[in-house]
Amino acid sequence: MATMNPLDYGRSFVIGNGPENEVRFWVESRTRLIDDVAGTEEDYLQCASCKSEATFAARDLFQDDNYDFLPVFGPIWGVVFRRKAYLNQGYRETRPAQGWWNGQRTDLVEGAARELETNAVIREATYSNEPIVAQTEIKDSTSGLRAIIESPVKTMNTNREQDMYQVDTGPVLLPDLKRHERSVDGLRLAFVAFNVPHFADFVVEVPTTIGAAPTGTEVHHYSERINLAATNRLYAVD
C-alpha cells in the first residue's frame, strides 16, 4: 500500500514565475500517478477555479462570455479546463507546464497528520472542526497503474446513531489508469464520495445533454457516475 503525507491545503500554493503576472493559485487537490511497472510516480496539482478576467485592466475586469478557469500542473505537462455556459471546444487545453506563466514554483506544506482509523474518531474530528484530508487509492492490475487522489474534505456528513460518516468533496483529478503517451491526457475532473474504507463513488464532468430534442443543448456537467474499488484514508491535519 502506497503512502503519501497529506498536504496542509490552507498553506499550499502554485505560483507563476511571471514577470507579467506572478499569479498565485490555491492547491485544491493532488493526484499521484504511480507506475508499478516502471517504478515511477508523477504528482498533478489541481488548483481552485477562477473566472476569465482582463488582468490588471483599468476597468471591466471580468471578460464577456465568461467562463470558469481551472488549472492543473504536473511535472512536465499542464492542462487548463475552461467551462462556459455551453459546450465549448476549448474546454481542455494541454501544453508543457513551462508554457503557463513562464513555469511555476510549487509551495507545498505537509501538515502534522494523524490517520482517523474508526468511524467514531472520524466523527469526533469532524465535531472538533479539525481540518480533514481524504486520500482515495485506486489501481488497475492490467495496466499496472495506481493513483492516490487527495483533497481536503469540504463536506462531511455524520450520523451518531448509525455510527456513520460520508465524505462528499471535489473537484478532484480522476485518472482513467490507462497508459497514455502523456499521462495528463487520462485526467478528468470529478467529485468523490465514500462512507467505508473499500470503495468510492465518483461523478465526472462530461458533455451532458440538457432538455429534449430538438431544443436541447449540451453543457459540461458532473453527470457520469463511476463506482470503483478503492482504499480510503482520512487524516486530521494540524
Question: 225 and 191 in contact (C-beta within 8 Å)?
Answer: no
Other CB atoms within a 10 A radius of the CB of residue 167 amount to 22
Mean pLDDT, range 99-118, rounded to an integer: 95
6: preceding bond cis by omega (within 30 degrees): no
What pLDDT is recorded for position 215? 80
% the chain with pLDDT above 90: 94
Mean pLDDT, range 217-224, rounded to an integer: 96
Mean pLDDT for all residues in the chain: 96
What pLDDT is recorded for position 2? 61
Query: Is the predicted pLDDT of residue 71 greater than 70, yes or no?
Result: yes
Domain boundaries defined on the chain: 9-107, 113-237
What are the angstrom distances between the C-alpha of 186 and each of 29, 81, 179, 227? 16, 14, 8, 17
What pLDDT is recorded for position 167? 98
Question: 73 and 100 in contact (C-beta within 8 Å)?
Answer: yes
What pLDDT is recorded for position 214? 78
Query: Is the predicted pLDDT of residue 1 greater than 60, yes or no?
Result: no
What pLDDT is recorded for position 18? 85
Query: Is the predicted pLDDT of residue 3 greater than 90, yes or no?
Result: no
What pLDDT is recorded for position 54? 96
> Tens digits of per-residue pLDDT, 123-169?
999 999 999 999 999 999 999 999 999 999 999 999 999 999 999 99
Mean pLDDT, range 5-13, rounded to an integer: 97
User: What predicted TM-score, i.e. pTM, was given to this entire model?
Assistant: 0.95
Please give the angle made by the CA atoms of 116, 118 and 124, to the nearest 5 degrees: 70
Question: 217 and 198 in contact (C-beta within 8 Å)?
Answer: no
> Tens digits of per-residue pLDDT, 41-69?
999 999 999 999 999 999 999 999 999 99
